[in-house]
Copies of this chain bind each other. A is one copy, B any other.
Amino acid sequence: MNAALPRPMPQALLDALASRFGTQCSTAMAVREHHGRVEGSIQAPPPAAVVFAESTLDVQDAVRLCNQHAVPVIAYAAGSSLEGHLLAVQGGICIDVNRMNRVLSVNAEDLTVTVQPGITRKQLNDAVKDQGLFFPIDPGADASIGGMAATRASGTNAVRYGTMRENVLALEVVTASGEAIRTGTRARKSSAGYDLTRLMVGSEGTLGIFTEVTVRLYPLPEAVSAAICSFPSIEAAVRSVIQTIQLGVPIARVELIDVNSVRMVNAHSKLGLREEPMLLMEFHGSPAGVKEQAETVQEIAREWGGNDFEWATTPEERTRLWTARHNAYFAAVQSRPGCVAIATDTCVPISRLADALLDSIAEADASGIPYFLVGHVGDGNFHFGYLIDPDSADERARAEALNHQLVARALALGGTCTGEHGVGVHKMGFLVDEAGAGAVQMMRAIKQALDPNDILNPGKIFAL
């Protein structure tokens, strides 16, 4: 997959790490393999050692030592990346930041919180809910906040609350030379120089390692209601969504679930959902506001043949529904024993969503590859999961061909190859198609200026 060969691993570096970190550094094969495995179909040799960082200073020292030896360094937390971000494709050292999982300061009055990178989104929400606050970004997996910032993650709530791009206010970043810098303040807005925060968000570990993350919080909505609506066709569901967004309804979540996914989720989560394409929606606001939003959307849905909403208003019912949605991936993988899922991640302008989806569904149906389809359709973002036999070169080739057609279509419609997963090693070719050689060259120039030895997660996003 990646032509770059592992770089030399000097024994002197391993000795220096052992001396500096003692039991915080492991070269045990089981530990290394755990940190070199990722979801999906790509594999690479494990990192040569894993440093369990407990402080910014630990990260700085590990990076400094690696930089002295020009050895790659890869940050690791929840391990939920889907694009091979965590693979040591050129060898190197893994810095595990899971022990850096503290909430450093909650500023409830400002609706901000500063955390260490290893905290997961669920841990963060547990820590702030007693103050009537929540962190909305929800990519499904219980990902770490550091990893979510590094991949510019988003998920089900982004249609209302934005992505990590909008919700990270500031970072502490350890640079390639081991210096710790801050990229912003807690002010809600600023025009003070280059937007280093946004440059770092989505840089996939290639420009620095995050050691503190300041994100926005939101008041827990006074009222929350979740509704399911089944439709006679995917097109009818999607047209309803398009109209909802165009009307400016501040819907908090609107997920498309195709009939394949409904069947798989029913089997996996023991649910009795109607086996038709459906939208799973959530409304946040005041009781009156939620009612008004829901009535508007119900009216739109009816025009497209949607059924009456089925409501989940208690927290337990809502959790059950959203857990089922988040388990769609696992439900799908279990539906074909031994398979792996190749997940796509295109995102298109909302007006082109039906075009993008319907043609790609037709192609997937014609291919004979089992698949499921879910989508954060309020943003124009959707995921096919092609369920292939990992030992079948033929199935892999057919799934890759489907993905290529899908991406080409999304780009032609003014969209992107990746709405939220990132480029990693999987989408390096697609990035050039999307951004153009000139823009990728600009990224490369920035990388070379900030990381002259190319030690920070090399071989990701673009080839140097």
Contact = CB atoms under 8 A, between A and B. Distances in A.
A263 interface: no
A376 to B, nearest CB: 9
Contacts of A198: 165, 195, 198-199
Given A182-B436, A439-B181, A443-B196, A189 B347 contact: yes
Contact of A419 (B189, B242, B431, B439): B189
A27 interface: no
Interface in A185-243: 185-196, 198-199, 201-203, 207, 218-219, 221, 242
A195 B419 contact: no
Contacts of A423: 191-193
A349 interface: yes
Nearest to A415: B187
Given A109-B350, A439-B196, A421 B246 contact: no
Nearest to A245: B111
Nearest to A350: B110
Interface stretch (A3-11, A39-47, A50-58, A146-154): A146-154
Nearest to A437: B181
A379 B188 contact: yes
A101 interface: no
A379 B347 contact: no
Given A351-B107, A442-B450, A195 B191 contact: no
A190 B418 contact: yes
Contacts of A112: 349
B445 A190 contact: no
Given A151-B191, A152-B191, A189-B381, A175 B109 contact: no
Given A112-B349, A349-B112, A415-B185, A153 B191 contact: yes
Contact of A192 (B166, B350, B416): B416
A417 B194 CA distance: 14
Contacts of A201: 195
Given A110-B349, A181-B439, 19 more contacts: A108-B246, A153-B191, A181-B442, A185-B416, A186-B349, A186-B415, A187-B380, A187-B415, A188-B380, A189-B381, A191-B420, A192-B417, A192-B427, A192-B435, A194-B207, A194-B443, A195-B195, A442-B450, A445-B450
Which 6 residue pairs across A and B have the least CB separation, nearest first?
A198-B198, A109-B351, A449-B449, A190-B416, A219-B248, A181-B438
Interface of A: 107-112, 151-154, 158, 162-163, 165-166, 175, 179-196, 198-199, 201-203, 207, 218-219, 221, 242, 245-248, 286, 288-289, 292, 345, 347-352, 379-381, 411, 414-423, 427, 430-431, 434-436, 438-440, 442-443, 445-446, 448-450, 461-462
